[in-house]
Amino acid sequence: MKSAISPADAAALIPDGASVMIGGFMGVGSPHRLIDAIVAAGRKNLTVIANDTGRPGFGLARLVSAGCVAKVVASHIGLNPETQKKMISGEMEVELVPQGTLAERIRAAGYGLGGVLTKTGLGTLAAEGRRVIEIDGESWLYAPPLAADFALVACERADYNGNLSYQLTATNFNPVMAMAGAVVIAEPREILPVGAVPPDAVDTAGVLVDHLIERAR
């Protein structure tokens, strides 16, 4: 059984300089209350691994605007001008990774794999400085596994064993990130008694989840 903690208590677990995976796609499926708590806690020098950095004033953009982030690993930043400005000025490092490759690198870490091989980016600027492996006369880019100190996910439902169920497209990066974070903090819309989430509706098993965020009041 897991007890639910406040967003502020969860943010207190995350030190400056930590690497943090945050689920969501343009804010859909992101743990917004936990993001706000990290901003309020004044965290600094975080490495954030996410699909994107949100849009101005929403989602992950709040971390960027508050100066919490030193480095971003993401698939695109096109809807957040502030991320672009900070990248150009050198205030924040940005590593752009093709979306499928990003998901597979995270999955590889969660499944204990040594990385993935992909042709995406081969022969482009994205391949500069990266290892190329030849297999049966074909060239492949090696992409190393990508893990993090923390994985922050949002879900529709949880039970007090930590079993999580996501809803529709809010599933996105959350399940693979829950596999790849050393400490997993889940922000559910509602927390149900044990057994109320049917086994076939469980998307992330409770054994992976360390902390639940209490329901909004």
> What is the per-residue pLDDT for 204?
98
**Total domains present in the chain:** 1
62 in a domain, yes or no?
yes
115 in a domain, yes or no?
no
Separation CA 95–CA 97 (nearest Å): 6
Q: What is the pTM of this model?
A: 0.95
> What is the per-residue pLDDT for 172?
95
29 in a domain, yes or no?
yes
Kindly report the number of other CB atoms within 10 A of residue 169's CB atom: 9
117 in a domain, yes or no?
no
Query: Positive or negative, the Cα torsion across 128, 133, 137, 139?
Result: negative
Full DSSP string of the chain:
---EE-HHHHHHTS-TT-EEEE--BTTBT--HHHHHHHHHHT--SEEEE-SB--BTTBTTHHHHHTT-EEEEEESB-TT-HHHHHHHHHTSSEEEE--HHHHHHHHHHHHTT---EEE-TTTTSGGGTT--EEEETTEEEEEE----EEEEEEEEEEEETT--EE--GGGGTTHHHHHHHEEEEEEEEEEEE-TTSS-GGG-SB-GGG--EEEPPP-
39 in a domain, yes or no?
yes
Residue labelled with tokens 């006369």: 137
57 in a domain, yes or no?
yes
Kindly report the number of other CB atoms within 10 A of residue 67's CB atom: 15
> What is the per-residue pLDDT for 128?
87
Residue 42 has phi, psi (to 5 degrees) of 70, 35
120 in a domain, yes or no?
no
> What is the per-residue pLDDT for 69?
98
139 in a domain, yes or no?
no
CATH code for the domain in which residue 208 is found: 3.40.1080.10
> Residues 120-155, buried b or exposed e (16+ Cβ, 10 A)?
bbeeeeeeeeeeeeeeeeeebbebebbbbbbbbbbb
Low-confidence ranges of the chain (pLDDT < 50): none
Tally of CA atoms within 13 A in the half-sphere of 148 that contains its CB: 33
Residue 199 has phi, psi (to 5 degrees) of -55, -40
- Model pLDDT for residues 136-158, shown as the tens digit of each residue: 999 999 999 999 999 999 999 99
Q: Domain residues for 63?
A: 4-98+146-213
